[in-house]
Structure 1
Amino acid sequence: MNKIALIYMGGTFGCIGEPLSPMPESTFIPQLQQLLPTKYQTIVSCFQAASIKDSSACTAQDWLQLIQQIQTLQLQNFQHFIIIHGTDTLSYASAVLAQFLQQSCHVILTGSQFPLLNIEGTALRSKTDALDNLNTSLEAITQIKAGVYLSFHQQVFYAQTAFKVHTTDLNAFNGIAIQEEYQDFSSKALLPLHVEMMHIEKANMLNIINWMMLPIEKDQLSQNLKQLLNQVPDFLIIQAYGTGNLAVNDEIINLFQQLRTLGCQTILTTQVLHGGIDQRYAISQWIKETGILLSNSHTQADLYAKILKIYLQYPTSEQWHDHWQ
């Protein structure tokens, strides 16, 4: 059978005690190995990630180090990987791995709403979804096509499409399941990116501002945009209404143009979870004047992953714009 690398990256899955706190990975990983189903004992090798932390604290650096670890293990003939990760940013981790690894190997990310072990950390917890999520991932990892996926509550989703829908429920994630017909045109024919130290160092400098629009007057939006002129981000994401609708005036259009001149790429997306953006309406004709980019990503996490990759691939703001599609 195929060798499987199981990489532990922290999260509720590996917590013990009351209140919950992370069990030291040197103690947790042997416990994890013992709880693997018998048929996987000899083919699964457990590893700790370079960065183990609460997933709400994870950033691009942590996920790039994980990709680097996966790419190193590929040289040791591992092609199947299961990642245990906290649920807060599980969709972001999945989307980043999907963008960077593409179809170069088989990867499933999973986590849990309850810890694997009891309060003392000595045995399997009586009420836990951790083992079930892990077993689902183990059963699926050698059956799926090459690519990156997120597994939760007996479901396996395409990583680019997955998003968290509930803070505490066991059925916490949604997306396009592997049983559904799906073709990811946004990353068609893209090659994996081999992660090097220079990418990790550069990622620390990436500055993204995300605004979910609320009903305020245009004059207030103008004032907010003017504040950005003092410290310009690399990317400004505008989560507009409906199909990407945003009411603007000449001053707002001018401010978007100024931001682009100063090196900020503005990306228009929608705060609606399903359906994507559609620029049929006259209210959006201003987009052509400003050169704003349109999101073609499945989720907010997928958009973040695309921004990160294009930021690391190309050195200038105008190249980010030119290569966006």
Structure 2
Amino acid sequence: MHSKSIKNSDTLQLIYAGGTFGSYGRPLAPLNAKDFLPIVQSHLIEHSHTLNLPAVAWLGNTLIKDSSQLTPNDFVHFYTLVLDAYNKGCRRFVLITGTDTLSYLGAFLSEAFAGSDLCLVVTGSMRPLLDAEVLQDYIVDSNGDAWDNLIASIKLASAGESGVKISFGGESWPAQTVQKIHSHDFMAFTGHSRAAYPANSYIKLLADTRRQHWLDDQYTLLSDVKRNAEQAYIHALYCLPNHPDMLSVQLQALADHPPCGIIVLGFGAGNVPHSPALAKALEDAYEQGHMVICASQCPFGGVSDSYAAGSWQYDHHVIAGGRLTIPAIYARLLWLLLRYPTPARRRQRWTNNVSQTATTIRKR
């Protein structure tokens, strides 16, 4: 049993993981954490009274990198970092990361901490916190978005509502509903509030015994999760106006791979060009233990079986992604690959979970 080593703490834990938020200079490059975090801390202390900020502390993190370079191993690093702090009594967190994979990391942590009463807010920025035009001193960029995003995230996390959320551009959403929609605008992300699993699986406040049971369950499988991250792969196949056999060739190329996740990005509501070769490739992928999920290339709306052009694939073991975003599908596939040992268990868990969020698809 992993018992808490400190009493439950009201201090909000900040985690700095890199990204544009902490970049500075010409050309822009990330500042060393030991230099950057004291600057941020001094500004928070300076404004804590006027902004009515809670007590904060920086959770030690050794993994600071450009978010476009994050891997499943890195996702598990942040899961473990927060899990250990949660086990010690911390409950409220703000994670600052880069925007490239912010929605993917947020959705993954949302899956991983489902069933707990943890409160985690993920944020970042499109411009650095410090004004890169002022090189003689560290000055907060008053025209940027970093400071506002940080303060909004701290205030959101201070409320302590259980669940993982993303806060950006003055708005916040359940993490598994969020996607990046603009490459450089301050309003770079969007999401929605009508999220079911895993958002509805968070507990308002867990009794100590139930929290300990949840923690014990996580730690029992933690070594497996870390080991599986070494060989967890999610592939994406993007439908284009090509001959449909091109998709079958791409699927066949995965024939000798260990069971993995495959996202088919269909047209519109999940339409995928049909061919006998592709149908057979989907059957073969299922027999090999792969999980194939259909998603839409459209940013909103998800997939459905309304059109014959898309419904045929569900007769060949493809699973509909419903209204889940691409980052959320990636995150759920990754968590299932890390957490559950067999293809059958993964499919069972997906079906049980996604049925609460997906557009209704014919039951198989």
Is the TM value for this pair above 0.5?
yes
Distance (Å, rounded) in 2 between the aligned partners of 1:284 and 1:126 = 49
Q: Output the CA distance in 2 between the equivalents of 1:227 and 1:110.
A: 37
Counterpart code for 1:146: S
Q: Distance in 2 between matches of 1:294 and 1:274?
A: 15
Change (3 A) 1:157 1:41: closer
Distance 1:58 1:234, change over 3 A: same
Q: Take 1:272 and 1:115, find their aligned partners in 2: how far apart are those partners?
A: 30
- In structure 1, the residue matched to 2:260 is 234
Q: Distance in 1 between matches of 2:332 and 2:323?
A: 8
- Of 11, 21, 44, the residue aligned with 1:3 is 11
Cα distance in 1, alignment partners of residues 147 and 113 from structure 2: 26
Instruction: State the AA in 1 paired with 2:284.
Output: Q
Instruction: Check conservation: 2:177, 2:195, Cα contact below 8 A.
Output: no
Aligned 8 A contact 1:91 1:163 in 2:
yes
Following TM superposition, by how much is the alpha carbon of 1:109 offset from its aligned partner in structure 2, in angstroms? 0.7
Q: In 2 relative to 1, CA 189–81 (structure 1 residues): closer, same or farther, beyond 3 Å?
A: closer
* SS of match in other structure, 1:228: coil
- Specify the SS of the correspondent of 2:328: helix
Structure 1: runs of 5+ lacking an equivalent: none
Conserved? CA contact 1:232–1:259, under 8 Å = no
What is the distance in 1 between the residues matched to 2:228 and 2:313?
30
Could you tell me which residue of structure 2 aligns to residue 59 of structure 1? 71
Offset at residue 144 of structure 1 (A): 5.4
The 8 Å contact of residues 50 and 66 in structure 1, kept in 2 or not, is answered as: no
Listed one character per residue, the Cα deviations across residues 135-169 of structure 1 (whole Å, up to 9, x for unaligned) are: 11122212352101111111111111111111111
Query: Aligned pair 1:110/2:123, yes or no?
Result: yes
**Which whole-Å CA distance do the structure 2 matches of 1:166 and 1:44 have between them?**
31
In structure 2, the residue corresponding to 1:239 is in which secondary structure? strand
Pick which of 99-108 and 53-62 moved more: 99-108
> Counterpart of 1:237 in 2: which secondary structure?
strand
- Work out whether 1:15 is the aligned partner of 2:28: no
What is the aligned partner in structure 1 of residue 102 from structure 2? 90
Q: Specify the alignment match of 2:145 in structure 1.
A: 129
Aligned letter for 1:38?
S
Deviation of the 1:52 alpha carbon: 0.6
Q: CA deviation at 1:75?
A: 3.0
Partner of 2:86 in structure 1? Answer: 74
Cα drift, residue 323 of structure 1: 2.7
Superposed CA RMSD = 2.3
The amino acid that maps onto 1:108 is V
The SS at the match of 1:215 is coil
- Tell me, which stretches of 5 or more residues in structure 2 are unaligned? 1-8, 203-213, 352-364
Residues 186/118 of structure 1: CA separation in 2 closer, same or farther (3 Å cut): closer
Q: Which residue of 2 aligns with 1:203?
A: 229
Query: Could you tell me the TM-score, scaled by structure 2's length?
Result: 0.81
Residue aligning to 1:194: 218
- Number of matched pairs: 321
Q: How high is the TM-score relative to the length of structure 1?
A: 0.90
Q: Is the 8 A contact 1:95 1:302 kept in 2?
A: yes
Alpha-carbon spacing, 1:43–1:285, altered in 2? closer, same or farther (3 Å): closer
Q: Identity over aligned residues, as a percent?
A: 29
